[in-house]
Amino acid sequence: MIKTTATPRQGSFAQAEYARKKKQTRRDLFLAQMQTVVPWARLIAVIEPHYPKSGKRGRQPVGIERMLRMYLVQQWYGLADVAVEDALYDSQALRNFCGIDLGFESVPDATTLMDFRHLLEKHKLPHALLQEVNALLTERGLLMSQGTWVDATLIAAPSSTKNKVRKRDPEMHSTKKGNEWHFGMKAHIGADDQSGRVHTVISTAANVSDISQTAALLHGQEQRVGADAGYVGVEKRAEVQAKLKTMAHTVTFRIAKRRKPIKAMVEGWKKDLALLNEKLKASLRAKVEHPFHVVKNIFKHTKTRYKGLAKNDAQLHVLFALSNLYRVRGKLCP
């Protein structure tokens, strides 16, 4: 970790006044929880070997922890680089979280945050951050390895051609879901079937089938694999069979049946049993939907922010790592 020689200083009047306020906002409570559950030392250790030791024009670089905190604020609140800078100037809660006192220093600008993000993308550090978070959860007994649920979700991309090149993102594609067409990408995830925590993330264009990514979403220690009806026949695919041959144990597949064959069954106890079995599968499979809920509805990531799959894939790895921490915050908080 980069050592600092700065001496402790007395906080500004603004900080003291904010600390005396009677009501804690939802933002205060959320940031206090994240301050506790994020394994700062472990994440900084992942980034430090790649972080520059000197800044531009010989200036001292901004500390890793401060930049990491700004970057996580960006992910939690779905902000652009410039919007993060503005939010820190506007919000005392965010400045306290990032350790910034305007009485002594300014907020790192949007370009500095962009450079930090590019550093993470260049060295594939978001993948390592997800692995480090999952290592922590495994140590705490909050992430198992006996089973995996696989699923995918669509993430929209800007379809407008009103830009400099007059074209849509060439790495994004259209796909039809139901009776509607969607342009963008897919986030494929493999999640622990006991806790629903995400262990593997793969990003593809929207027109890539869900079932084609199944083998890559398995970590190899599963005894059970579950999925919705879009994955019917997955156990027969060549790449899945090749993956199963590398495992030293038998794998049970729990794939939901398509609705049409069940509807066509004759009314009676067999149909009732089949419906009950599918209801049980659905209740278990619901766990894999929770990470999508956190990323899309709580972290507000409903549309791609960057051009190209690589940058969006890096952001998704961080978002799912943060969703894992968010969902166990009650167990990790003292």
Kindly report the CATH number assigned to the domain that includes residue 280. Answer: 3.30.420
Same domain? For 70 and 153 the reply is: no
- Residue at 319 is within a domain: no
Q: What is the pLDDT of residue 54?
A: 76
53-57, 157-161, 170-174, 252-256: least confident range:
53-57
Give the residue from 256, 216, 223 showing the smallest Cα distance to 237: 216
Q: What is the pLDDT of residue 160?
A: 84
- Residue at 129 is within a domain: no
Q: What is the pLDDT of residue 14?
A: 61
Is the per-residue pLDDT at 15 higher than 70?
no
Q: What is the pLDDT of residue 261?
A: 85
- Domain C-terminal end among 61, 89, 123: 123
Q: What is the pLDDT of residue 60?
A: 74
Q: Which two tokens stand for residue 125?
A: 């550090």
- Residue at 330 is within a domain: no
- Residue at 328 is within a domain: no
**How far is residue 284's CA from residue 278's CA, in Å, rounded to a whole number?**
10
Is there a contact between 307 and 184 (Cβ–Cβ < 8 Å)? no
Same domain? For 117 and 162 the reply is: no
- Residue at 183 is within a domain: yes
Same domain? For 169 and 87 the reply is: no
- The string of pLDDT tens digits covering residues 114-123 is 999 999 999 9
Average pLDDT, the chain: 89
Is the per-residue pLDDT at 240 higher than 70?
yes
Percentage with pLDDT > 70 across the chain: 92
- Residue at 324 is within a domain: no
Same domain? For 198 and 86 the reply is: no
Read off the pLDDT of each residue in 46-70 and give the average, rounded to a whole number.
86
Read off the pLDDT of each residue in 73-98 and give the average, rounded to a whole number.
95
Same domain? For 52 and 19 the reply is: yes
Is the per-residue pLDDT at 246 higher than 70?
yes
Is the per-residue pLDDT at 17 higher than 80?
no
Q: What is the pLDDT of residue 275?
A: 86
- Residue at 75 is within a domain: yes
Same domain? For 203 and 103 the reply is: no
- Domain C-terminal end among 63, 88, 123: 123
Same domain? For 53 and 149 the reply is: no
- Residue at 310 is within a domain: no
Q: What is the pLDDT of residue 3?
A: 44
Same domain? For 94 and 225 the reply is: no
Q: What is the pLDDT of residue 58?
A: 61
Same domain? For 18 and 157 the reply is: no
Predicted TM-score (pTM) of this structure: 0.90
- Domain extent, residue 118, equals 13-123
Domain total in the chain: 2
**How far is residue 264's CA from residue 267's CA, in Å, rounded to a whole number?**
9
Same domain? For 38 and 149 the reply is: no
pLDDT bucket at 137, cuts 50 / 70 / 90: very high
Q: Which residues contact 230 (CB under 8 A, 6 or more apart)?
A: 210, 211
pLDDT bucket at 285, cuts 50 / 70 / 90: confident
Same domain? For 150 and 269 the reply is: yes
pLDDT bucket at 145, cuts 50 / 70 / 90: confident
Same domain? For 152 and 270 the reply is: yes
Q: How many CA atoms within 13 Å lie on the side-chain side of 146?
A: 4
Q: CB 179: neighbour CB atoms within 10 A?
A: 5
